[in-house]
Structure formats: structure tokens, C-alpha cells
């Protein structure tokens, strides 16, 4: 019941202001967000790496409103890649990006007076889709130069055709570019078949957005069943499956499906979020699994934080308690 309410609040500016100003918020946010700037996150990457864990780094942010913000997002990732290069961490840390932060959802009237001329795109381009592609391409190229890659996160269902088209375009030059699919969407089994056949790196997750019944399964056990069907498609396919879940049942089913598909331990990986089930992360790594920790940092943490609250009511309780005790 609470989940959908929190997810609706994750898109409200009024709630954003209230939550951001509440006493105690910072302390709870710190459980899920690794810091505000690159210098905060570097020691965390080093620590995770020393513990045998790999990382995917997310500079938090979404729902931007100006083209300048999309350039700032690109530059934040380029700065991050520069630091990883200096520290020799390129091979242990990949990046996760939300294309909405790169301009995908901006309404841009191309060709009109005052319309957009996107730099670095080889001439005039139109629309948020093109803007996002031209912003993300240099990030993917810089990541490839230091021996790592980028995964395109899945946002709400209205953004996915554009995300998959950008993924396909990027893979022409950078085949290691990954993308995310969400088990709760009806479309996902078809997407999984296509991506498994073309050898993509694919992260499968349950899905974190509030989606209508016309496009998404609403019943949790049914989402889990879909997740298993999709894992099977990915494990039997040509690509590289990335199992993004904290659910112990799904993790053990993934291991069994990988075994049946004849996949070695380096032919798939597990992924979990920073701050969630850390002991399980260590356990899987100690068993020889590739375990990647999705580590988010940055100042625009609101949407990411609210989705973490929506996933587990106990987080909300903890949050409310910490406000009341301040
Ligand atoms: P659940 O059934 O939700 O959780 C299983 C157990 O894990 C819970 O019982 C609890 O013990 C623990 N747990 C789960 N979530 C939390 C939490 N927030 N706080 C504390 N404990 C928790 N979603 C997208 O829509 N797009 C993406 O691009 C995306 N990328 C992701 C990347 C990674 C690496 C991961 C792990 C998740 C990502 N998600 C993404 C979120 C995902 O869709 C789910 O909302 C989230 O993973 C919770 O589902 P679960 O599979 O962990 O199972």
C-alpha cells in the first residue's frame, strides 16, 4: 500500500522540499548514497574493491529541466572517469547512467528560431533523444578508454524505446555497453529475447517505478515468476546476464539456471545496491561470484532515495523515527 504513495511522492517537488529540509534526513540518506562529490566516493570504491567487490557508479539525478543540466551530468561522469583513471580503478568500476539526466526527457523544438544546437554531435540535432545520445556517447567512449563500460538504467516505461535505441546505437562502436530490463513490464520477455540473441550485457531487475496495469504486472509473486522466466532467457542466451536483486530466492534460482546453462562464474554476475544486504554481497564474492555494488552519489539524491524507501516499508519507519528523534 505504502509503496505506490511513496513512489508518487518521489515525483513531487513539494515533497522534495519537505523531505530535503527534514532534520535527520541526511543521516538516513547516507545509508544509501555514498556521498555528494567524487572525493566522497573514491575511498568507498577502494574499500569495496579491497573486499573483492566490483562497483557500478551512479551520479544521481533525473528529471532535469534545462539543456545546461544535461551537459553538467555528462561532465560529472567525465570527471568521475578521470578520477578512476588516475587511481587505476577503471577495471573494477563501471558506470550506470539515467538517460533522463542526459536530456532524454527534455522537450526540444528543433529547427525553430532559438532551437537547440547540440555540441559535439556533428551538426544540428533535435529532441531530447538526440541530446541524450550526444551526451552519453563521450562518456561511453571515455569509459572504454580506461577499460570499463556503461550500463543504461531503465526508467519509467515511456522512456524505454528511446533507451533501447540509444543502447543499440552505442553498441555499434562500444559493444560492451549494457542496459537494464524490468521484470514487471509485459514487454520485457520480448526485449530479453532480442538482447540475449544479440549478445548484450543485460541487468535484470524487478522494476522500481509506479507503472499502470496496462503495461506492468501489479502482483509481486507474478513479478517474481516473470523475473525467473527472463533470467532463464538471459542465461540460455548469448549475452552477459547481470542479476540485479537482493531477493535470496531469486539469487539461488539464478545460480541453478547458470549451472544448467553451463555458465562459468565469470559468465554472469550479481548486482546489489550500496547499503543493502552487505553481508550477502560479501558472501557471494567469497564464494567466487562476481558481485557488483551499485553505488550512487551526488547532491540530487531525492528520487533515488524515495525509491529505496518505497521498496521496503521498514526504511520509511526508520526515516520517520530519525526525524522524530531529532
Ligand atoms: P525485493 O523483493 O524488493 O527485496 C528482497 C529483499 O531485499 C527484501 O526483503 C529486503 O530484505 C531487501 N531489500 C530490497 N530492497 C531494499 C531496500 N530498499 N532497503 C532495504 N532492504 C531492501 N530498478 C529500475 O526500475 N531500473 C533500474 O535501472 C534499476 N537498477 C538497479 C540496479 C541494481 C544493481 C539493483 C539491485 C536494483 C536496481 N533497480 C532498478 C531496483 C529494482 O527494480 C528493485 O526495485 C529493487 O532491487 C528491489 O527488488 P529486489 O529484487 O531486491 O527484491
DSSP 178-210: EEEEETTBTTHHHHHHHHHHTT-EEEEE---S-
The three grid cell numbers given for residue 262, joined into one nine-digit string: 553451463
At 89 the pLDDT is 85
**Could you tell me the sign of the dihedral formed by the alpha carbons of 105, 110, 115, 120, in that order?**
positive
Task: Determine whether 203 is an active site residue.
Answer: yes
- 207 Cβ inside 6 Å of ligand 1: yes
| DSSP states of 80-92 | HHHHHHHHT-TTT
Measured by CA distance, the residue closest to atom 32 of ligand 1 is 244
Mean pLDDT of 46-51: 92
Looking up cell 543493502, which residue turns up?
276
pLDDT-based confidence at residue 315 (cuts at 50, 70, 90): confident
Task: Flag whether pLDDT at 118 surpasses 90.
Answer: no
DSSP assignment letter at 33 = B
Neighbours of 198 (CB within 10 A): 13
Cα–Cα nearest to 189, from 226, 153, 137: 226
Distance CA 21, CA 17 (A): 6
Q: What is the mean pLDDT of residues 186-198?
A: 98
Kindly write down the DSSP assignment for every residue of 92-103, as one continuous string.
Answer: TEEEEE-GGGGT
How far is residue 188's CA from residue 228's CA, in Å, rounded to a whole number?
A: 12
C-alpha cell at 216: 506492468
> CB burial class (10 A; 0-12, 13-18, 19+) of residue 87?
middle
Burial class from Cβ neighbours inside 10 Å (0-12, 13-18, 19+) for residue 193 reads: middle
| pLDDT digits 0-9 by tens, 19-44 | 777 777 888 888 899 998 999 999 99
Confidence of residue 112 (pLDDT cuts 50, 70, 90): very low
Residue nearest to atom 43 of ligand 1 (CA): 207
Q: Which of 42, 44, 11, 40 is nearest to 26 (CA)?
A: 40
Cell 544479440 found at? 198
30, 104, 312, best to mutate for ligand 1 pocket (most atoms within 8 Å of CB) = 312
Percent of the chain topping pLDDT 70: 93
Q: Residue 196's pLDDT is what?
A: 97
Active-site residue, 153 included: yes
β-partners of residue 295 are 57
Cα-to-centroid distance, 274 and ligand 1 (Å): 11
ipTM: 0.97
Q: How far is the CA of 121 from the centre of ligand 1 (A)?
A: 35
Enter the DSSP assignment of 261.
T
Q: Where are the alpha helices (DSSP H) in the chain?
A: 2-9, 13-21, 25-32, 38-50, 67-87, 127-145, 160-173, 188-197, 220-236, 248-260, 278-286, 302-311, 313-324
Residues in the chain: 326
Chain segment 287-299, per-residue pLDDT in tens: 999 999 999 999 8
What gap in Å lies between CA 53 and CA 298, rounded to an integer?
Answer: 21
Q: Global pTM?
A: 0.92
Query: With 60 as the cut, is the pLDDT of residue 10 above it?
Result: yes
Quote the cell numbers at residue 110: 528543433
Is 208 annotated to bind a ligand? Reply is: yes
Find how far residue 213's CA is from the centre of its chain. 23
Probe ligand 1: pick from 101, 205, 249, 317, max atoms within 8 Å of CB?
205
The confidence band for 109, taking pLDDT boundaries of 50, 70 and 90, is: low
What are the structural domains of the chain?
34-300 (3.20.20.220)
| Residue owning grid cell 538482447 | 195
pLDDT (tens digit per residue) in 82-98:
999 998 888 889 999 99
Q: Is the pLDDT assigned to residue 259 strictly greater than 50?
A: yes
136 near 167, Cβ under 8 Å?
no
Amino acid at each position: 500500500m505504502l509503496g505506490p504513495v511513496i513512489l508518487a511522492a518521489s515525483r513531487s517537488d513539494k515533497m522534495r522540499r519537505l523531505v530535503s529540509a527534514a532534520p535527520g534526513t541526511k543521516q538516513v540518506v547516507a545509508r544509501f548514497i555514498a556521498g555528494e562529490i567524487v572525493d566522497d566516493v573514491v575511498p568507498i570504491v577502494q574499500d569495496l574493491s579491497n573486499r573483492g567487490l566490483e562497483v557500478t557508479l551512479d551520479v544521481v539525478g533525473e528529471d532535469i529541466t534545462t539543456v545546461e543540466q544535461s551537459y553538467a551530468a555528462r561532465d560529472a561522469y567525465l570527471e568521475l572517469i578521470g578520477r578512476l583513471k588516475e587511481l587505476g580503478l577503471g577495471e573494477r568500476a563501471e558506470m550506470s547512467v539515467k538517460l533522463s539526466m542526459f536530456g532524454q526527457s527534455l522537450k526540444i523544438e528543433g529547427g525553430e528560431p532559438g532551437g537547440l544546437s547540440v555540441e559535439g554531435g556533428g551538426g544540428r540535432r533535435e529532441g531530447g533523444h538526440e541530446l541524450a545520445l550526444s551526451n552519453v556517447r563521450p562518456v561511453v567512449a571515455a569509459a572504454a578508454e580506461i577499460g570499463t563500460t556503461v550500463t543504461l538504467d531503465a526508467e519509467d516505461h515511456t522512456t524505454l524505446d528511446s533507451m533501447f535505441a540509444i543502447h543499440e546505437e552505442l553498441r555499434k562502436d562500444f559493444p560492451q555497453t549494457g542496459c537494464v530490463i524490468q521484470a514487471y513490464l509485459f514487454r520485457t520477455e520480448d526485449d530479453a529475447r532480442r538482447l540475449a540473441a544479440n549478445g548484450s550485457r543485460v541487468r535484470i531487475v524487478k522494476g522500481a517505478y509506479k507503472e499502470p496495469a496496462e503495461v506492468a504486472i501489479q502482483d509481486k509473486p507474478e513479478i517474481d515468476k516473470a523475473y525467473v522466466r527472463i533470467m532463464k532467457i538471459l542465461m540460455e542466451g548469448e549475452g552477459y546476464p547481470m542479476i540485479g536483486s537482493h531477493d535470496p530466492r531469486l539469487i539461488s534460482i539464478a545460480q541453478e539456471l547458470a549451472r544448467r546453462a553451463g555458465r562459468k562464474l565469470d559468465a554472469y554476475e550479481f548486482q546489489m545496491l550500496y547499503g543493502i544486504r552487505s553481508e550477502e554481497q560479501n558472501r557471494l564474492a567469497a564464494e567466487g561470484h562476481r558481485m557488483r555494488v551499485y553505488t550512487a552519489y551526488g547532491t540530487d539524491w531525492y528520487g533515488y532515495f524515495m525509491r529505496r524507501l518505497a521498496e521496503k516499508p521498514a526504511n520509511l519507519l526508520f526515516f520517520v523515527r530519525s526525524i522524530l528523534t531529532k
